[in-house]
Amino acid sequence: MTMTLNTEPTKLPLHEEHLLKGARMGDFGGWLVPLFYSSIMEEHAAVRTKCGIFDISHMGEFLVEGSDALAYLERNLPRRVFTVKFGQAIYMPLLNDQGGMVDDIIVYRMAEQKFLLIVNAGNITKDFSWFTARVSGDVTVTNLSGEMGLLALQGPRSQTILLESFGAFYKDLRRFHFKDFEGGVIARTGYTGEDGYEIMVPKGKLKQVWDVLFQAGGKQGLLPIGFGARDTLRLEAAMPLYGHELTDELTPLEAGLEWAVDLSKNEFPGSVVLKEQKKTGLLKKRIGFEMIERGIPRQGFEIQKDGKTIGSVTSGSFIPTTGKNIGMAYVAAGESAVGNSIDVMVRGKPVKAVVVSLPFYKRSSS
């Protein structure tokens, strides 16, 4: 008797809503997600100029609580958690003992000894094992990923839509802060380089939130946004993605994320390696580059200098905001200077590019 494994991707809680809005669906890390509704270019532009809504309910959520919860996170995470105030969130990488990045996460401080953690969808099982293996004392780690849904409202009109939808209580919400909402939270966070919010609620309330946002957002030009534009937006904002710019072998120093670790802390997983790397210097660095000649860079493409391999592309795309082909890569540290001329190997041929400063796009502060 042979057994067949179910390899069907998991549907998002709002799967039928996406179909009703004309979504072209596709597999993303074992999830059936909207790739685009109209076009990646139109959706990218909508987030940059008006507002877009993303269903990111594939993401994972862990609850960490107990009388030793703060000490447990302080011991195991690479940033100081005790300084985070109630209602505040903090971004950081999750590290292994070799200093490699297991994932990148956001930690929300709900109370003195209660924390909500957002983790990447493809790493839920791995991350949960990482956290539970390190538990000691009065600490409980609960995987809420199957119970919660998550929507991202992003773009310059996001605040107008949010306040019309849910009231002035959220008007003073600052960047990387959150407030309680319907059994979940509304946080002023995002993954697009724009102002915006992420709204987490129990899955049973997700459609109601979706409907209210569209009702309020109709006259503001709110559009549903697929994962295609999610990727071009985060690339343009130079936000790293696990499996591309972040891996279990790369360190946050190499990734340009030294600001997201605190090397003055006492020992945490990977701290010895990172402190030594800081002392001796980096062999490779994450860079941004812009194509000078025609060609679209893609993950895995080799990067050369004077005919010698110096690195490889981690993410690349045509970007509608500027009309340019851009990418991120890891290259030998000596070749990482802004203005350095490099060759990206596209279909076996060298195509000229230049190293540029990151991010490629930064929203106006006005």
pLDDT in tens, 116-134: 999 999 999 999 999 999 9
d(CA 69, CA 139): 5
* pLDDT over 70 percentage in the chain: 98
pLDDT at 4: 47
- CA 70/CA 44 separation, integer angstroms: 39
User: Is the Cβ–Cβ distance between 288 and 138 less than 8 Å?
Assistant: no
pLDDT at 5: 55
344 - beta bridge partners? 303, 351
pLDDT of residue 306: 97
What pTM, to 2 d.p., does this model score?
0.95
Separation CA 53–CA 192 (nearest Å): 11
Residue 338, helix vs strand vs coil: coil
pLDDT of 365 higher than 60: yes
Q: Is the pLDDT of residue 3 over 70?
A: no
- Residue range 251-264: mean pLDDT, rounded: 98
Determine if the peptide bond prior to 252 is cis (ω within 30°). no
Superfamily of domain 60-143: Aminomethyltransferase beta-barrel domains (3.30.70.1400)
Q: Answer yes or no: is pLDDT of 337 > 70.
A: yes
* 10-59+146-236 CATH, one of 3.30.1360.120, 3.40.720.10, 3.40.30.10, 3.40.50.2300: 3.30.1360.120
Q: Round to whole Å and give the CA distance between 218 and 197.
A: 17
Residue 165 near residue 212 (C-beta atoms within 8 A): yes
- Compute, in degrees rounded to 10, the torsion defined by CA atoms 14, 17, 18, 20: 160
| Whether residue 66 has pLDDT greater than 50 | yes
Domain ranges of the chain: 10-59+146-236, 60-143
Q: Would you say residue 1 has pLDDT above 50?
A: no
**Could you tell me the end-to-end alpha-carbon distance of the chain, in angstroms, rounded to an integer?**
66
pLDDT value of residue 2: 47
| Residue 6 pLDDT | 58
Q: Which long-range contacts (CB under 8 A, 24 or more apart) does 127-130 make?
A: 127/60, 127/62, 127/94, 127/102, 127/103, 128/60, 128/62, 130/94, 130/102
- By CB atoms closer than 10 A (0-12, 13-18, 19+), residue 143 is middle
Q: Enter the tokens of residue 98.
A: 């070799």
Candidates 103, 192, 185, 104; CA nearest to 150 is 185
Query: What percent of the chain clears pLDDT 90, i.e. is strictly above it?
Result: 95
Adjacent-strand bridge partners of 187: 178, 198
In this structure, which amino acid lies at residue 59? M
Return the exposure string of 301-336: e unless at least 16 CB atoms fall within 10 Å of the residue's CB, then b: bbbbbeeeebbbbbbbbebbbeeebbbbbbbbbebb
Q: If you average pLDDT over residues 269-294, what whole number do you get?
A: 98
Question: What residue type is 324 in one-letter code?
Answer: K
pLDDT for 163: 98
